């Protein structure tokens, strides 16, 4: 086996380097690369992607993985066993998808986000539709290529982002949301007539000042700036490549004070997860979050349960007032906390509040399922989007910019990804309860001791990187199976107040 272990590690070292440069090209593309070079960059990307694919599909590498997988019980290192299992699963692509189709798809999705951004800016779905059609078509083919007696259709895509979760699990979860949450939300958002001080919504909040507060937040959350940084991009995101380099972005809107605040905290939740992965996984294929759902549970917990808590603003609101003395004059702590926790029907997922958030995801889940199952065509997407939004969120978009074009994900080929967002919020509620049994979270927040929360999360979730499945992580952290009741109870409790 030693020969195969050595061979595997040799390839892994090279693949990590290709992963790194592909990561860097994407980071550059999303944050600062000039528009005029998109074609040029795409050409270089294609070559690099081909070289990486050659490595991934090299018969010697494939053989090494197969041999190691066949002899798993001879391997001593438990982490390494997990890695080989994952590598063997990943071989499906190499073995079953024709190389050229796969490379073409990588190139398509690499330039896709650029086309999407332009279409969104121009509010022109037709500009994006041909790209999205190709992406959906490929995913439908992909599902065919990868299907097994045990797993078919949309399940295959869902499992890629959240191992062990398929349509059966998600239907249960989303049906609970449809039954318990949709009517509750419609009721809360109808009755909510509270009028906030107009200064909160009508003032100008200069970007430079918002930036100052975002950097203050990085200190509060002990985000290690020796191993990461905060930048700006059209759509906030986290981009991690190792426990020593995990970068986040946010977006400043001068007419919106809180958008950048909660984007920054949200991305820090993602970022701290990866920065707190045990560094021994940096050179392996196991670095990173174990699943998107667990990833999102961290960002949602940091954003909503910590960042929107009364305890948090009791400590940090004075700083915000110091930065925006005019704009926040005469606005007290109570009103501000109410403001950041208001629930209302909205059109944009990333700007949606905690209560309505999962309903936006429900819309996308149903659309993806229908597209992959062949019950919905790309050209009919805008119309269907509007109708589902109206039904579940109670608000109907009038433009595609505020509708189907709002999210970057599909342009990058991420189908099966959205459902994990809602799952993440539900995990977060369950994890928060478990942590709160170990120590009083509000007390830690009031002591400005976020480090305590980081430490618990590291110990129970972060340090494991990808060595545990989502279900295993949930068991380690909460000693229970997934139970969405925590989430429903948490929301009803909070928004009944």
Of 110 and 478, nearer to a copy of itself (C-beta) is: 110
Binding status of residue 225 toward a copy of itself by CB under 8 A? yes
What is the H or E stretch that residue 272 is in? helix 257-275
Binding mask 6-35 for a copy of itself (x = CB under 8 A): -------xx-xxx-xx--xx-xx---xxxx
CA–CA distance, 104 with 142 (Å, rounded to integer): 13
Of 46 and 433, nearer to a copy of itself (C-beta) is: 46
Per DSSP, helices labelled H in 289-418 are: 292-300, 310-323, 333-340, 357-372, 381-392
In sign, the C-alpha dihedral spanning 22, 23, 24, 26 is positive
> Minimum Å distance from CB 243 to a copy of itself?
9
Of 206 and 374, nearer to a copy of itself (C-beta) is: 206
How many residues in total does the chain contain? 497
At residue 450's C-alpha, the angle toward residues 354 and 326, to 5°, is: 65
Q: Which residues neighbour 247 within 8 Å (Cβ) at sequence distance 6 or greater?
A: 27, 228, 229, 230, 231, 238, 239, 240, 271
Pick from 159, 282, 335, 442 the residue near a copy of itself by CB under 8 A.
282
Catalytic residue, candidates 30, 56, 162, 267? 267
Binding status of residue 242 toward a copy of itself by CB under 8 A? yes
> Minimum Å distance from CB 269 to a copy of itself?
19
Binding status of residue 383 toward a copy of itself by CB under 8 A? no
Of 148 and 226, nearer to a copy of itself (C-beta) is: 226
> Minimum Å distance from CB 257 to a copy of itself?
20
Site for a copy of itself in 31-90 (CB under 8 A): 32-37, 39-41, 43-48, 51
Specify the residue for token string 């990833």. 295
| Nearest residue to 155 via CA among 408, 474, 415, 473 | 415
Of 109 and 356, nearer to a copy of itself (C-beta) is: 109
> Minimum Å distance from CB 51 to a copy of itself?
7
Q: Report helix, strand and coil shares of the chain as percent, to nearest 5.
A: 70, 5, 30
Is 254 tagged catalytic?
no
For a copy of itself (CB under 8 A), the number of binding residues is 42
Report whether 431 contacts 476 (CB < 8 A).
no
> Minimum Å distance from CB 1 to a copy of itself?
24
Radius of gyration of the chain (CA): 23
CA–CA distance, 459 with 477 (Å, rounded to integer): 9
Pick from 226, 330, 398, 496 the residue near a copy of itself by CB under 8 A.
226
Of 26 and 197, nearer to a copy of itself (C-beta) is: 26
Pick from 143, 155, 189, 228 the residue near a copy of itself by CB under 8 A.
228
- Residue 44 CA to its chain's centroid (Å): 27
Of 147 and 212, nearer to a copy of itself (C-beta) is: 212
Report whether 393 contacts 356 (CB < 8 A).
yes
Phi-psi category of 288—alpha, beta or left, where left has phi over 0 and alpha has psi -120 to 50?
left
> Minimum Å distance from CB 262 to a copy of itself?
24
CA–CA distance, 111 with 330 (Å, rounded to integer): 48
Catalytic residues: 267
Residues that bind a copy of itself (CB under 8 A): 13-14, 16-18, 20-21, 24-25, 27-28, 32-37, 39-41, 43-48, 51, 208, 224-229, 231, 241-242, 244-245, 247, 282-283
């Amino acid at each position: 086996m030693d020969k195969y272990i050595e061979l595997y590690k040799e390839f892994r070292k090279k693949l990590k380097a290709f992963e790194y440069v592909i990561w860097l090209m994407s980071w550059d593309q999303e944050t600062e690369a000039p528009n005029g070079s998109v074609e040029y960059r795409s050409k270089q990307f294609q070559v690099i992607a081909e070289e990486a694919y050659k490595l991934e599909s090299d018969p010697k590498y494939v053989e090494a993985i197969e041999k190691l997988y066949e002899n798993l019980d001879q391997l001593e290192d438990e982490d390494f066993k997990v890695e080989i299992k994952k590598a063997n699963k990943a071989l499906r692509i190499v073995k079953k998808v024709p190389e050229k189709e796969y490379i073409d798809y990588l190139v398509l999705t690499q330039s896709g986000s650029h086309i999407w951004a332009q279409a969104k800016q121009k509010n022109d779905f037709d500009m994006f539709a041909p790209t999205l059609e190709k992406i959906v078509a490929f995913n439908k083919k992909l599902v065919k290529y990868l299907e097994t007696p045990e797993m078919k259709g949309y399940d295959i895509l869902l499992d890629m982002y959240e191992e062990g979760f398929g349509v059966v699990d998600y239907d249960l979860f989303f049906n609970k949301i449809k039954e318990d949450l949709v009517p509750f939300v419609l009721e809360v958002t109808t009755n909510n007539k509270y009028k906030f001080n107009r200064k909160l919504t009508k003032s100008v909040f200069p970007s430079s000042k918002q930036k100052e507060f975002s950097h203050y937040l990085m200190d509060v959350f002990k985000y290690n700036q020796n191993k990461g940084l905060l930048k700006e991009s059209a759509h906030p995101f986290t981009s991690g490549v190792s426990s020593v380099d995990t970068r986040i972005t946010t977006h400043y809107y001068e007419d919106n004070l809180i958008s950048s605040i909660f984007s920054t905290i949200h991305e820090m939740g993602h970022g701290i997860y990866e920065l707190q992965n045990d560094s021994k996984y940096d050179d392996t294929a196991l670095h990173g979050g174990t699943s998107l759902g667990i990833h999102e549970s961290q960002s949602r917990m940091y954003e909503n349960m910590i960042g929107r808590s009364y305890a948090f603003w009791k400590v940090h609101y004075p700083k915000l007032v110091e930065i925006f003395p005019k704009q926040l004059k005469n606005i007290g702590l109570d009103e501000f906390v109410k403001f950041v926790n208001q629930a209302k029907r909205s059109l944009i997922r990333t700007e949606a509040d905690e209560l309505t958030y999962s309903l936006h995801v429900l819309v996308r889940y149903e659309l993806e399922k229908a597209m992959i199952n062949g019950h919905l065509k790309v050209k009919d997407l805008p119309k269907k989007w509007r109708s589902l939004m109206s039904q579940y969120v109670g608000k109907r978009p009038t433009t595609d910019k505020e509708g189907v074009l709002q999210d970057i994900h599909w342009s990058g080929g991420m189908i099966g990804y959205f459902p994990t967002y809602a799952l993440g919020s539900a995990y977060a509620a369950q994890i928060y309860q478990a942590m709160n049994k170990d120590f009083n979270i509000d007390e830690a927040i009031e002591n400005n001791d976020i480090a305590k929360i980081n430490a618990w999360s590291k110990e129970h979730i972060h340090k494991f990187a990808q060595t545990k499945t989502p279900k295993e992580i949930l068991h380690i952290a909460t000693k229970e199976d997934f139970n969405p009741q925590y989430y429903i109870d948490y929301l009803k409790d909070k928004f009944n107040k």
